[in-house]
């Protein structure tokens, strides 16, 4: 029963998003999304195409977009990284805890991740580089 309610809620949110996107109502979309939990947004973002995702990320507040990016699956995240500009990635990464930032940066091509790391505070950059040197599942990666 609980799973059915969750799926129904997800379908309703998806329909609302699609209606607002079709109407080109970005103000309404922003208002709707900013009333949602990031996990609910992430589930729906996985069902959207990249053009729709681009609009969603344009209207999300940066802290929410960071949470959504962290919660979507890796395949969706890779597609999102393809359309985000480096400055947007930096802004989103700066909203995350350093260990989460390191995990996401490790998924980017090295050239882009290094540009992002260079653009953040030196102390944070050093910690992120250290975290990235550990495997995510290693004791060091978990403990840091």
Whether the predicted pLDDT of 49 surpasses 80: yes
Indicate if 95 and 126 belong to the same structural domain: yes
Average predicted confidence (pLDDT) for the chain: 90
Whether the predicted pLDDT of 38 surpasses 70: yes
Q: How many helices and strands (H and E) does the chain possess?
A: 11, 0
Q: What is the value of pTM for the model shown?
A: 0.84
Indicate if 57 and 105 belong to the same structural domain: no
Indicate if 23 and 9 belong to the same structural domain: yes
Q: Domain span at residue 114?
A: 85-144
pLDDT band (50, 70, 90) for residue 135: low
Indicate if 111 and 63 belong to the same structural domain: no
Q: Which residue has the higher pLDDT, 138 or 22?
A: 22
Indicate if 80 and 103 belong to the same structural domain: no
Indicate if 95 and 107 belong to the same structural domain: yes
Indicate if 48 and 2 belong to the same structural domain: yes
Indicate if 11 and 47 belong to the same structural domain: yes
Indicate if 20 and 71 belong to the same structural domain: yes
Indicate if 121 and 78 belong to the same structural domain: no
Domain count, the chain: 2
- pLDDT for res 6: 86
- pLDDT for res 142: 47
Indicate if 20 and 42 belong to the same structural domain: yes
pLDDT band (50, 70, 90) for residue 3: confident
Distance CA 9, CA 115 (A): 39
Whether the predicted pLDDT of 48 surpasses 90: yes
Indicate if 54 and 15 belong to the same structural domain: yes
Whether the predicted pLDDT of 144 surpasses 80: no
Domain boundary among 84, 102, 119: 84
Residue/partner pairs of 93-102 with CB below 8 Å, 24 or more apart: 93/66, 93/120, 94/120, 95/62, 95/63, 95/65, 95/66, 95/67, 96/66, 96/70, 98/124, 98/127, 98/128, 98/131, 99/131, 99/141, 99/144, 100/70, 101/128, 102/128, 102/131, 102/132
Most confident of 47-51, 114-118, 136-140: 47-51
């Amino acid at each position: 029963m609980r799973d059915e309610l969750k799926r129904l809620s997800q379908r309703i949110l998806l329909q609302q998003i699609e209606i607002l996107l079709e109407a080109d109502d970005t103000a309404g979309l922003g208002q709707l999304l900013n009333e949602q939990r990031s996990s609910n947004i992430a589930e729906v973002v996985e069902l959207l195409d990249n053009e729709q995702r681009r609009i969603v990320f344009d209207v999300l507040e940066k802290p929410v977009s960071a949470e959504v990016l962290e919660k979507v699956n890796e395949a969706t995240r890779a597609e999102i990284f393809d359309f985000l500009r480096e400055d947007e990635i930096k802004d989103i990464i700066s909203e995350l805890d350093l260990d989460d930032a390191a995990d996401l940066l490790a998924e980017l091509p090295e050239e882009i991740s290094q540009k992002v790391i260079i653009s953040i505070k030196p102390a944070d950059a050093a910690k992120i580089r250290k975290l990235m040197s550990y495997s995510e599942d290693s004791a060091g990666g978990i403990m840091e």
